[in-house]
Amino acid sequence: MPMTLQEYNTQELRQELEEMNRVEIAEYLTNASKEERLIAIALIDKADLADAFAYMDPDLRADLLESVSGPEALEIFNEMDSDEAVDTLQELPSNMVIRLLADLPPRRRELMNKILRYPENSVGSLMNVDYVNMRADTSTEEALRLVRQSRAGAEHLQDIFITSQERELIGVVHLADLIRHDEDTITSLINWSPVTIGTRDKPMEAAELFTEYRLLALPVHDSENKLVGVVTADDIYPLIQEEVHDEYARSQGIREDEEDIDYLDTSAFSLVRQRIGWLLILMIGATFTGWVIQSYEDVLEASVVLAAYIPMLMDSGGNAGSQSSTSLIRALALGEVTVSDYLVVMFKELRVGVIVGVVMALVNLARIMLMDGVSLQVGLTVSVTLVLTIMMAKFVGGGLPLLAEKFNLDPAVMVGPLITTVVDTFALLIYFKAAQLLLGL
């Protein structure tokens, strides 16, 4: 990180900024004071600055553009990829947006306006319109010339799109193949089965295609199947990360509006209102376990040592169920399983439960006999309960996400609390029934 402007002269600061990559430049500008930012912006190459904008908060991007002169802002804006430029426009005041758009070259202004018209939660709003396309009979020399002349970023040049005379996508050529193979034309290098997505499709649909086909770039077509843009991995992976974060937050009973506000800026009352619902549900669910314990007080009174193993049985069951539910929620999100796979999933989880339960029970029985000094009957009671609890937990953990999907509920929201309630309650029922049968209580 550079030192402050008071510690560095301009020449030294310029040299250190030139040695930074785009991520480091973005980090420096994020942490710098307003005065330091203005001087740094004047020293940084505008193409490097535009690349760094992709790693900044949208509000900071807007602040930086507002703080520089009109010509400087336009120069930076012209160097930005179209998708980042559109994101930045949406954060700027309307008068500055009008001024920037008015000064853009006509073709780029037309493309910006087109992307701005797409719904926010659509692939069209994410796509970049900087890409290279050509006809199938293009010579290799001409193809390389078009790539060299393109203003698209490196991530948008990994694939070259082959279009028909009507601009319909018919194939893809990988840049690496174009460079490696010495062919007169690109025809033999074309992949004639490209994966595409529509401008009106949801971003998470694009994320599924990136994951399934291990893509780095995904061409985007309009309602007439004409090529209009490209979405790249750096556009999609933040969405996947955000979705994983959101699902985890929902599974913990945290509402989306709480995630979007800084913790210190949220009032205590707001936090209470957002969290109390799930806490009440969990509290009510816990009363079932209390009811089971009260119903079998005579069993506990006859063999007090049984109470010592209740936490271990409940925790083991909860952990086993959470493992299965997490795996199934992920598989559902990635399209690896569907509701129609219910019986297959249940059979698989049951087999996993038997194996895991037996291994854990044998280890636990040895530990009990060696360390706790209880009778063999008590050890067998705990171990048999452990096997049955793990099997039940795996069955419940695997089935609840599919059940939620069947009824169009969010598995991440409902599965966690239900697993806790169901597994704890049934673990105790199994335990006390096993004690009655094996200990004769």
pLDDT by residue (tens digit) across 144-177?
Answer: 999 999 878 788 889 999 999 989 999 999 999 9
Would strands 197-198 and 217-221 be described as parallel, antiparallel, or unpaired?
Answer: parallel
Determine which of 5-14, 91-100, 233-242 has the lowest per-residue pLDDT on average: 5-14
**pLDDT of res. 238:** 79
CATH label of the domain that carries residue 355:
1.10.357.20
Query: What is the phi/psi pair of residue 228, to 5°?
Result: -125, -10
Domain boundary pick from 68, 85, 117: 117
The answer to whether residue 243 is domain-embedded is no
Query: 3-state DSSP: the chain helix, strand, coil percent, rounded to 5?
Result: 70, 5, 25
The answer to whether residue 379 is domain-embedded is yes
Q: Look up tokens 């493992």; give the residue.
A: 323
**pLDDT of res. 74:** 80
The answer to whether residue 309 is domain-embedded is yes
Are 215 and 291 in the same domain? Answer: no
Are 160 and 222 in the same domain? Answer: yes
CATH label of the domain that carries residue 150:
3.10.580.10
Domain boundary pick from 63, 88, 117: 117
Are 212 and 354 in the same domain? Answer: no
DSSP label at 372? I
Q: What is the pLDDT of residues 239-281, one digit of tens each?
A: 777 766 666 565 555 555 544 556 677 788 877 876 777 678 7
Count of structural domains within the chain: 3
The answer to whether residue 19 is domain-embedded is yes
Are 278 and 419 in the same domain? Answer: yes
**pLDDT of res. 121:** 84
- Residues 30-36: what's their mean pLDDT? 85
Check whether 184 has a pLDDT greater than 60.
yes
Element (H, E) at 220: strand 217-221
CATH label of the domain that carries residue 18:
1.25.60.10
Are 347 and 202 in the same domain? Answer: no
Are 298 and 398 in the same domain? Answer: yes
Are 399 and 433 in the same domain? Answer: yes
Residue 7 pLDDT grade (very low, low, confident, very high; cuts 50, 70, 90): very low
Are 287 and 378 in the same domain? Answer: yes
Are 297 and 399 in the same domain? Answer: yes
Q: Decide: 159 and 210 in contact? Cβ < 8 Å.
A: no
The answer to whether residue 246 is domain-embedded is no
Who wins on pLDDT, 177 or 117?
A: 177
Q: What would the two tokens of residue 215 be?
A: 């893509």
Q: What would the two tokens of residue 317 be?
A: 């069951």
Distance (Å, whole) CA 87 – CA 208: 23
Check whether 192 has a pLDDT greater than 80.
yes
The answer to whether residue 257 is domain-embedded is no
Are 153 and 112 in the same domain? Answer: no
| Furthest C-alpha separation in the chain | 89
Domain boundary pick from 182, 214, 233: 233
**pLDDT of res. 262:** 64
Are 20 and 104 in the same domain? Answer: yes
Q: Decide: 81 and 128 in contact? Cβ < 8 Å.
A: yes
Handedness of CA 148, 152, 157, 160 (dihedral sign): negative
Are 279 and 349 in the same domain? Answer: yes
Distance (Å, whole) CA 218 – CA 421: 43
**pLDDT of res. 12:** 81
The answer to whether residue 349 is domain-embedded is yes
35-40's contacts with Cβ under 8 Å and 24+ in sequence apart are 35/5, 36/4, 36/5, 37/64, 37/67, 38/67, 38/68, 39/5, 39/10, 39/13, 40/13
Q: What is the pLDDT of residues 344-400, one digit of tens each?
A: 999 999 999 999 999 999 999 999 998 988 889 999 999 999 999 999 999 999 999
Query: What is the phi/psi pair of residue 162, to 5°?
Result: -100, 125
**pLDDT of res. 344:** 94
Entry pTM: 0.54
The answer to whether residue 300 is domain-embedded is yes
Residue range of the domain that includes 171: 133-233
Which one, of 190, 174, 182, lies nearest residue 137 by Cα?
A: 190
